[in-house]
Amino acid sequence: MIPIINVKMQHRADDFVLDGFEPAYLAALRDGSLDGRVAAALEELRACRACPRDCGIDRLADERKVCNTGRHAIVSSAFAHFGEEDCLRGRRGSGTIFFSLCNLRCVFCQNWDISQQQRGEARDAAGIADLMLALQQVGCHNINFVTPEHVVPQVIEAIAVAARAGLRLPIVYNTSAYDALGSLRLLDGLVDIYMPDFKFWSRDSARRLAKAKDYPEHARAAIREMHRQVGPLRFGADGLARRGVLVRHLVMPGQLDEARAIFAFLADELSPDTYVNIMGQYRPEYQVGSPGRDGPRYTDIARCPHGGELDAALEAARAAGLWRFDRRSAMF
């Protein structure tokens, strides 16, 4: 069933059910534009502007800089994931492909062993396409690219190979939202579901906790572009997501003002119909609380958020006018 806040909103929830669906990339395959999209994407790597770091290096020649990724993407794992939102995992899982390394440096990252270190193996477009087709073969409901911001050209390459080989699943772009507009525009008509995590509203928080002071403005621009492309999240009759934007926000201790500003932006500048997952699983990880020169580091976030903070975040989202929230079903 599609998650809704209360029965009175059922008629509004029904507005977000798609009668028919095919993955967006199939139209690009039919009209012959997919090859041009691949060529344009690879050109981004020649003087790399694939993400907001704007390194300018030649990744086609395997040069590396901030993300430490050259010509080919590093895949750390690929599997049917049952920990995603109900509308993605369904009963047979979301087909996640986790890319190693990241263009952010979040001090609290729960996946720091793959986001900050190279784990896995380099795969070319055919190799990534093989993983996509294998996940389809085992019954996954979608292909879910995790941490793809720095490898958008390689993702586009792989989609083209997989589409020609019979891929027919929706594509999920699962991102920190530290994305370049140029890369997102190359994905227009290829991605069905954008799933950005809007982390911080203020430059100070982004600089201190993710080492990217320009994160907030890039996240706002990226999420606007995602919404322009696919609109609010819509579902099939089976309750599984088919197309649209699903925004995640991780509730962190002491950052309710950031959450309020993010929710107001989503409601006012995107739509009150924006589908949001207010995530409560933050815990101190990676560098948080670890010894530093002057004592433990990042002590202000060295705890889990308490129940009152989670309740306050949900209330802030409702006060902003949002109403479509992810709810985990007991059946899972």
Residue entry with tokens 């784990």? 119
Q: Which amino acid is residue 152, in one-letter code?
A: V
pLDDT at 294: 79
* 3-state class (DSSP) for residue 275: strand
Distance, first Cα to last Cα, the chain: 12
Strand 295-296 vs strand 291-292: parallel, antiparallel, or unpaired? antiparallel
2 inside domain: no
135 inside domain: yes
Pairwise CA distance, residues 92 & 69, whole Å: 31
331 inside domain: no
CA 93, 178, 244, 124 dihedral sign is negative
pLDDT at 329: 53
Pairwise CA distance, residues 247 & 277, whole Å: 6
147 inside domain: yes
Task: Return phi, psi of residue 75, to 5°.
Answer: -100, 120
The answer to whether 250 and 262 have CB atoms below 8 angstroms apart is no
pLDDT at 327: 85
Task: Collect all residues with Cβ–Cβ distance below 8 Å to 124 and sequence separation of at least 6.
Answer: 72, 157
Other C-beta atoms lying within 10 Å of the C-beta of residue 321? 15
Q: What is the dihedral of CA 137, 189, 37, 77, to 10 degrees?
A: -40
28 inside domain: yes
pLDDT at 2: 36
Mean pLDDT, 10 residues at a time, the chain of 332 residues? 42 80 97 97 96 97 96 98 97 98 96 91 98 98 98 98 98 98 98 98 98 98 98 96 98 97 98 98 95 89 97 98 84 34
We report the CATH number of the domain holding residue 145 as 3.20.20.70
Number of continuous H segments (helices) and E segments (strands) in the chain: 12, 12
187 inside domain: yes
332 inside domain: no
Q: Tally the domains of the chain.
A: 1
pLDDT at 138: 98
330 inside domain: no
pLDDT at 14: 77
Domain region containing 193:
7-325
pLDDT at 330: 41
* 3-state class (DSSP) for residue 236: coil
Pairwise CA distance, residues 288 & 212, whole Å: 17
